[in-house]
Amino acid sequence: MSTLSISLPGGTWTLGDLTVTRFGYGAMQLAGPGVMGPPADRDGALAVLREAVDIGITHIDTADAYGPRVTNQLIREALHPYSDSLHIVTKVGAIRDEQGGWPPARRPEDLRRAVHENLEALGLQTLDVVNLRLGDAQGPRPGSLAEAFETLVDLQRQGLIRHLGVSNATAEQVAEARSIAPIVCVQNMYNLAHRQDGELIDELAEQGIAYVPFFPLGGFSPLQSSALSAVAARLDATPMSVALAWLLRRSPNILLIPGTSSVAHLRENVAGAGLSLSDEDLAELDKIGR
Ligand SMILES: NC(=O)c1ccc[n+]([C@@H]2O[C@H](COP(=O)([O-])OP(=O)(O)OC[C@H]3O[C@@H](n4cnc5c(N)ncnc54)[C@H](OP(=O)(O)O)[C@@H]3O)[C@@H](O)[C@H]2O)c1
């Protein structure tokens, strides 16, 4: 564990036997526009990854579908050989089509191929955490995950995956996965304005399972709310800082993976997530997304 990570806001969390900083980094924004193709500024993308590790972040979220392959290859180029403290979380279950869509690819053969492609692109022999990505671009969809999840459990038994998680999942699918094998995390959309998973977060916290919100800053449409702007103005902070600090405060099992393609934004986000929110701030922020 890097000594610097101790000063990152939120401290650490344990994914199975892996200690990660609660302040992590989501690498999706490093690919080109629409998460397709290479970045316009390749050196800039490599610099963001190196900065993330230099400031002590030990949790990077990625997927081979980003680019596709682009983000994983950037991570490998910037950071391989990886330090023992760095944990890369990837996901399988969707591929990319020529229009930039994210069609599901959850047949056993798709998942086996995806795990091997992630291993190869990242230059690893074992993937620390693999999330089974369910649903579609519009969000979670009901339905059994058994066949797909059991395929990943089999790959885990073969030693290719250390820990499992699910993403874009309904509460029922989370429960179904847990009835098949232990999971260490759930990665779903959640932020100040989008709080459908409130109950699930609390249940997972009781079970010691991490909840990793994607789009913590609103994703492709930045969070906009007058209450958020008012609290940010009062604290002389940016709305993004308030949004990240609120998530860290919301529950101890929440891990942050804000995305950025900018070293300056990465630094701003780390500093901003450390903002201290008063009860009055929290009460005002609680009006958003209710
Ligand atoms: N499981 C899934 O289905 C799924 C889906 C989506 C995402 N994810 C994961 O979740 C991670 C986070 O999601 P995300 O990156 O899409 O959305 P996000 O973290 O909510 O927001 C990223 C956006 O905010 C901007 N931004 C970040 N910091 C900023 C700052 N300080 N000032 C101004 N703008 C700032 C970024 O632009 P700049 O580049 O200009 O900073 C980018 O456009 C992804 O990286 C990915 O790993 C998972």
Which atom of ligand 1 sits closest to the CA of residue 223? 20
Centroid of chain to Cα 169 = 14
In the prediction, which pLDDT does 6 show? 47
Q: How many angstroms separate the alpha carbon of residue 222 from the centre of ligand 1?
A: 9
Alpha-carbon distance 212 to 187, whole Å?
A: 5
**Cβ pair 185, 15 in contact under 8 A:** yes
Q: Is the CB of 91 under 6 A from ligand 1?
A: yes
Q: What is the mean pLDDT of the chain?
A: 96
**Cβ pair 48, 30 in contact under 8 A:** yes
**Cβ pair 220, 246 in contact under 8 A:** no
Task: Say what the pTM is.
Answer: 0.97
Question: What are residue 33's phi and psi, to 5 degrees?
Answer: -55, 140
Supply the residue whose CA is at minimum distance from atom 25 of ligand 1.
260
Q: How many angstroms separate the alpha carbon of residue 219 from the centre of ligand 1?
A: 5
Alpha-carbon distance 108 to 123, whole Å?
A: 22
Q: Which residues pair with 60 in a beta bridge?
A: 25, 88
Q: Is the CB of 26 under 6 A from ligand 1?
A: yes
End-to-end CA distance of the chain: 38
Q: Is the CB of 135 under 6 A from ligand 1?
A: no
Structure tokens belonging to residue 263: 């070293």
In the prediction, which pLDDT does 5 show? 44
Supply the residue whose CA is at minimum distance from atom 32 of ligand 1.
265
Alpha-carbon distance 125 to 19, whole Å?
A: 19
List pLDDT tens digits, range 224-280.
999 999 999 999 999 999 999 999 999 999 999 999 999 999 999 999 999 999 999
**Cβ pair 249, 275 in contact under 8 A:** no
Q: How many angstroms separate the alpha carbon of residue 27 from the centre of ligand 1?
A: 8
Supply the residue whose CA is at minimum distance from atom 36 of ligand 1.
260
3-state secondary structure 149-212: HHHHHHHHHCCCEEEEEEECCCHHHHHHHHHHCCCCEEECECECCECCCHHHHHHHHHHCCEEC
Q: Is the CB of 257 under 6 A from ligand 1?
A: yes
Reported as a pLDDT band with limits 50, 70 and 90, residue 289 is: confident
List pLDDT tens digits, range 14-71.
999 999 999 999 999 999 999 999 999 999 999 999 999 999 999 999 999 999 999 9
Alpha-carbon distance 217 to 259, whole Å?
A: 8
> Would you please indicate which residues are annotated as catalytic (active-site) residues?
66
Q: Is the CB of 188 under 6 A from ligand 1?
A: no
List pLDDT tens digits, range 170-190.
999 999 999 999 999 999 999
> Which positions ≥6 away from 131 have C-beta within 8 Å?
89, 90, 91, 92, 93, 164, 165, 166, 167, 185, 187
**Cβ pair 114, 92 in contact under 8 A:** yes
| H/E segment holding residue 25 | strand 25-26
